[in-house]
Amino acid sequence: MGNQESPEKKIKSGVAMLNVLESWGIDHIYGIPGGSFNSTMDALYEKRDTIQYIQVRHEEVGAMAAAADAKLTGKIGVCFGTAGPGATHLFNGLYDAQWDHVPVLALVGQVASKAMNLNSFQEMNENPMFADVSVYNRTVMTPESLPFIVDEAIRKAYRHNGVAVVTLPVDYGFVDIPDLPLSSAKNHRTGLPLPDNKDILDALKLIESAERPVIYAGQGTRGAGEELIALAEHFSMPVVISVLAKGVLPDDHPYLMGSAARVAAKPGNEALAACDLSLFMGSDFPFARIFFPADVKFIQVDIDSSKLGSRHKTDVAILGDAKETMKRIVAMGNKRPSTTFLEANLRNRRNWSNWLKSFENSDEVPMRVEPVFREINRIATEDAVFVTDVGNVTIDAVRHLKMNGHKQRFTTSGLFATMGYGVPGGIAAKLSFPERQVFTLSGDGGFSMVMQDVITQVKYNLPVINIVFSNDSFGFIEAEQEDTNRQKFGILLQGADYAKIAEGMGAKGFTITHPKQVKEIFEQARESKIPVVIDVKISNQRPFPAEAMILDKDIYTENEIEAFKKKIYDRRDASSERAIEKIEKGVNAEVSLPGYTHGKQEAITNRPGKCMIKFIYRKR
């Protein structure tokens, strides 16, 4: 009788799965319950003290919030959807995670195993649906394998910085299985490749022979701001950043030219167009072939070998961590004195910054955006998080947010560029950083796609400051229609009182129609203990198209210049004509460089239709 074995400890398969999530540091999960997810909902109830279930009002919001979690923290985000429509609603957020290369786990409900392949209610063949978006995609086949598969899915999501999908037949989560230690979380390790010194030396040869070198820094340089500054200053190189790298450097650093392409600053575009060498650091910039000269010498640094040479003909490829690579380049390379090219860029940056700043105290009605950003910058704390939606608001945020380059964070939907990212990202930011100030910045188009989930912020007491820039238009698309010379169609929006809508959901709502209201309302928003929606009624002014200026009389005919002005004036008021007059004077003035011997003067262009600053630089 003394040889009887003790009974094996049992646990519900669904609870065992959540134990795996908990072991990986996951403390909240987004979704909407349904019949095909009931076993997991039972498990979430049992684990409610350690894993918080966040009830969103649309699965798309949950998936985008999970992606934002991953972007902001580096930790995997988790969401779920039930069989059928709950699953299909996840795609927008999952593709955002895929395109911006962050780990997300999606749990997808399925009908009971005995009802599968019988054309049951809401049954879909979900596995092939998620094949394209995922790096790992499995349907659980037994209750015992459920926690193992979820553990493997998390490992794969981290390994490939992508989306892992696990489909769960609902009956499996109710089954008792042996309570075994299945998590591999304690064994999880991360590492980055170190650069080869031979590649560093090859890069230095190009840097030292270049006359107009530029650094293009992507999100791979996040956490390496000091090294990026040291690199720029050591070699006297201006820095252009990707949108996703916003905040890596302080926005007031003189070497920072801003971003490039359309979501851009004028100095950033012109620095790229004029450069003869690009040090392309930790970026997957999709427009590199367009905004760099075709014959530019190209040095690319990335931790993913599949990215090397994918965006531009590359002369030197360095497989390595950006931070370590920048350290070695500085340590192994000779310091470069300041050049006329750098000085021209610095002056160009000052001209542009002064032009932007000149509108901060504008009293125009309908309002410009600059007085609003002035107040955002004024009340923002040193560790504030900025979540930016997609559209004209992205351009405005990249240009006007003055981030400190230290603790403040910026996130948006980058390569996928989905509208509706703001509110979900705000939920994620406040859950991940409950003690930090969180702003969401949205246009009325993007906000109205997901505004129902302001009620989620209210439900979970997330005092986010949501700012809506209402211009009654899909303004970014309106500008595209202007640029393609097609008739504008389908872009005007029916206006709404978003402040009243917010109040109806339990948030504080404010409407701003005049610059005199801005300071007082932002003060109230700063002190609010509940979510706030500030609806700012702005004029339908296109952010100045720095990527497509037609103003330089040495490059364009008078007719071309007048046609460009007319296009911009068509939806601007008379006071905005004065704005273009200001930039004409500031942009096209020749750059004189005291203290330098003037070399050859060139108006540098890289293709027709793009207006570039006139650099005066000294030939080496």
Average pLDDT over residues 383-402: 98
Q: Is the peptide bond before 366 cis (omega within 30 degrees of 0)?
A: yes
The CATH code of domain 10-187 reads: 3.40.50.970
Backbone angles phi, psi at 116, to 5 degrees: -70, 145
Strand runs labelled E in 390-507: 409-412, 438-443, 465-470
> What fold, for 197-350?
Rossmann fold (3.40.50)
In the beta sheet, which residues pair with residue 109? 168
Q: Residue 574, SS3?
A: helix
Cα 95 to chain centroid distance, Å, stands at 13
pLDDT, tens digit, 9 for 90 and up, residues 190-226: 999 999 999 999 999 999 999 999 999 999 999 999 9
Q: Rounded mean pLDDT of the chain?
A: 90
Please determine, for residue 604, whether its predicted confidence score (pLDDT) is greater than 50: no
Same fold, 10-187 and 365-537: yes
Please determine, for residue 575, whether its predicted confidence score (pLDDT) is greater than 50: no
- CA separation for the pair 517, 252 (Å, rounded): 27
Report whether 350 contacts 224 (CB < 8 A).
Answer: no
For helices 340-357 and 574-587, the axis angle rounded to 10 degrees is 170
* DSSP per-residue letters across 502-516: HHHTTSEEEEE-SGG
pLDDT, tens digit, 9 for 90 and up, residues 312-333: 999 999 999 999 999 999 999 9
Output DSSP code: residue 64: H
Backbone angles phi, psi at 109, to 5 degrees: -70, 155
- CA separation for the pair 414, 80 (Å, rounded): 23
End-to-end CA distance of the chain: 94
Confidence of residue 260 (pLDDT cuts 50, 70, 90): very high
Give the CA count within 13 Å in the CB-facing half-sphere of 217: 31
- The one-letter amino acid code at 336 reads R
Domain boundaries, the chain: 10-187, 197-350, 365-537, 558-616
| Global confidence as pTM | 0.91
Report whether 296 contacts 315 (CB < 8 A).
Answer: no
> CATH: 3.40.50.10420, 3.40.50.970, 3.90.1170.40, 3.90.550.10. Which one for 365-537?
3.40.50.970
Average pLDDT over residues 352-365: 95
Q: Which residues participate in catalysis according to the annotation?
A: 59, 121-122, 262, 390, 476-477, 480
The distance between the two most distant Cα atoms of the chain, rounded to a whole number of Å, is: 104
